[in-house]
Structure 1
């Protein structure tokens, strides 16, 4: 019998957000609301649709393996050289390329926990160990939701090849500030690569949450990871990218790239999206305004919701998480539970969020007295 590597056989399957049409059919309703996957609710940008339509006639040919036009556009936007840019099939694939490029068995990857759920899986595939550093409360008496950068720095040892800092953090939405992040980067050994995972950067409004590209400059062991899947509205086309101060880092990522994995349509769409940045910024502003409203409504219901810098909010429900998520699904609302910890809720349209709040009110009123604020 042919068997997979033990590390692969033991891996849990990644669980994407549930399809709302499937849930609607299952429970016999006309429509379900999906607030689980941190997608933006807006349709694709007009320029993106035009670029896809124009490029569709070229799909009998392989894509540009080097994503030359997109790489040049990203280099111009961020003020770097094309050699400092690596493009991949979504940011998570770039994460996997990083693990393949820098980790051998016996090495390790360090990150906060809870954070992006793929980090430990990527280490497992690479045969590397994980160094998971628990989150700490961002405010006195709150649930753990914030990076403990001093502890993360202390966890780094001679085996640590990669450190991921998810800022803002997924799934808690919290972010670390400039001074503490600069101190952390200055402490990390030169032989360890720090990847600032900024998938939600476009939704940041706190001026003290730094732009990772600024902190990257002058630090050859720092790289920045971003994506077109969130603010740019291209989740279905899969385009992520890495910016590296040291071109050798981007080169290592490109060497582990699966050929032709960023499609012709995806490349054209990303270039068109970059050219529509004003529209993207307006959409992000609308998401931020709705985030503030949703946060205020949740707090009005007695829920301890931290300030989010992303396009989702985090409800630290502890042991109630799974039950609340199931009860919401029974009411045609899909959220993202992390068992025993909390519920991540994507900021949707005002109408979608009102549906969620109404369902949540029903769930909370059916719970034992005093449970809502825990």
Structure 2
């Protein structure tokens, strides 16, 4: 039997100062939900992944006994082809999900006291990463009375040379709204004149039209992040990618990048998944239909909803005076707590569209 050595060891004085009082804010919980819950929580394609993919995977041919291609050349080439040459293979960096790419950027840029500009509500995990590394998250609060609709003028009025970067998630998490590419362009151009980096996180980007992607833009200060987790329904593989067209930004990303970011199996499945763009399009049609019906039903019950786009499978819901997470949990529906998003409280929840709406509406049909 192993014995644990009990002795004093001062680790606290050795860690980064920003971690001493830091408390991670996250909507990912260490718990197993009950089997009878309708899962409307984590952001993924409610219809899973293209099932035909399973027939194409030959584990023996992949060679899982050896290391994967350290820099994932085949996947990078496939992504260039998928996007019709909007960028070069040299512009693409593969990461362990979109968060893996964001971590690399923070590794290069974050230090004690630097300031990142964003808006609220926004993707929680990135804010936590900035703060864990000693950064300060400066933000504008979107207007609740306007459904938290994105306001580029308000963001631009706050942007200054004091910011090391601007973080924009498009579509936005948690509202599910799509920010028009013209507004993104204005922000990137203004930031470029101030020597500020702009990250456009398009983790949910497969649920908006290609023409609205920041991948269509060409600016040296722009970094675009994408993922296979949402539209293609491959969250378990942890495959994401960053597209960087600025040579200087690429130089420093390479310095903090690591080889073997994703497994051989994950890379092979991701390459094959790119052929199934029709699956994503079909999912968008189904999501739009279900989400439209959900919104109409919830509004009839007096709930408030964020400004959102129907193709994106998430939206923000609130009802003042109650704990809305508990309200849905009592009815067998698992959502994401609003208080896990900076700027929101327990009267909010983020809802992800379920694959079938009937059970959801039946359970919500009870009064307060």
TM-score interval, normalised by the smaller of the two chains: 0.7 to 0.9
User: What is aligned with 1:7?
Assistant: 18
Deviation of 1:251 after TM superposition, in Å, equals 4.3
1:86-125 alignment to 2 at 5 Å? 86-125=93-132
Give per-residue Cα distances to partners, 1:229-285, cap 9 Å, x unaligned. 001111011011111221443443343234323111111111011022122222222
Cα gap change, 1:307 to 1:128, in 2 (>3 Å): closer
User: What is aligned with 1:162?
Assistant: 165
The DSSP-based 3-state class of the residue aligned with 1:40 is coil
Partners of 2:326 and 2:60 in 1: CA distance: 42
Partners of 1:40 and 1:17 in 2: CA distance: 19
User: What is aligned with 1:204?
Assistant: 208
User: What is aligned with 1:235?
Assistant: 235
Indicate conservation of the 8 Å contact 1:197/1:226, yes or no: yes
User: What is aligned with 1:369?
Assistant: none
Of 326, 334, 347, 2:353 maps to 347
Unpaired runs of 5+ residues, structure 1, are 25-29, 367-374
1:102-251 alignment to 2 at 5 Å? 102-137=109-144, 141-143=145-147, 145-190=148-193, 191-204=195-208, 210-214=212-216, 216-217=217-218, 219-251=219-251
User: What is aligned with 1:305?
Assistant: 305
The DSSP-based 3-state class of the residue aligned with 2:257 is coil
User: What is aligned with 1:338?
Assistant: 338
- Of 88-97 and 145-154, deviating more is 145-154
Partners of 1:75 and 1:134 in 2: CA distance: 36
Q: What do you get for the CA RMSD once the two structures are aligned?
A: 2.4
The count of aligned residue pairs is: 345
User: What is aligned with 1:27?
Assistant: none
TM norm structure 2:
0.85
Partners of 1:360 and 1:43 in 2: CA distance: 24
Cα gap change, 1:246 to 1:50, in 2 (>3 Å): farther
Deviation of 1:307 after TM superposition, in Å, equals 4.4
Give per-residue Cα distances to partners, 1:214-239, cap 9 Å, x unaligned. 2x22x211121111000111101101
Partners of 1:293 and 1:126 in 2: CA distance: 42
Deviation of 1:2 after TM superposition, in Å, equals 1.2
TM norm structure 1:
0.84
